[in-house]
Amino acid sequence: MQLEGMIYPDPPKPLGIRASAAWGVTDHLAVEAIVDPARQYSQAMVGFYSPVGSKFVYELYGGFGGGGKNGSYDDPDIRYNAKYLLPFIQTDCGWINLIEPLNLDFAVSLKVGAMHGQTIDFFKQYDSIWVHWMAQTHDDWMLLLEPTAELRMGWENLKYSLRVGMSTLYYGYSIDCEPFSLGLGVSYRFHPRKP
């Protein structure tokens, strides 16, 4: 089992926090859960991983995520409520202990998903006497592509990490995503890797 915590810039707030837990159920089957309270997102996935030699690991996961957020645009008379669901597949390639004294690991991944987003915009409508809140709904299916690279180093059980990623949505407009992400983290593996 491995636990990880990560912090990242999250404007306009100073920092966001993300936590994950992964468990190798067998020598080739793993489950993972991720919670990101700042972005109101969570996901769970299950998949296959396979060591290739002593330095390389290939992983293929399928999962489901979702979340939402409420807020206002630059105009205080317009507010929104956004929800989204994300079935996805994710492939990872990782190199283990590239530089032995540092326990340096490097991984790249690509997540591809079909995101369904629904945004309800609430706006004030003024007439001569009353103020009414009106609603307009946007409902979209979008293609998400999310490549990520991660560098980890430290000790066998405790490692520090640097993660860089990009997120791109195609074919929709109802949900904004962060186009670039950068995070610093720490992870702890309860049992060392098997040789």
Decide: 35 and 18 in contact? Cβ < 8 Å. Answer: yes
pLDDT of residue 33: 97
Res. 193 pLDDT band, cuts 50 70 90:
low
Q: Which residue has the higher pLDDT, 118 or 127?
A: 118
Distance, in Å, from the CA atom of 18 to the CA atom of 42, rounded to the nearest integer, reads 9
d(CA 125, CA 133): 6
Domains of the chain, CATH where assigned: 2-189 (2.40.128.90)
More confident residue, 139 or 72: 139
Name the token pair of 44: 């769970």
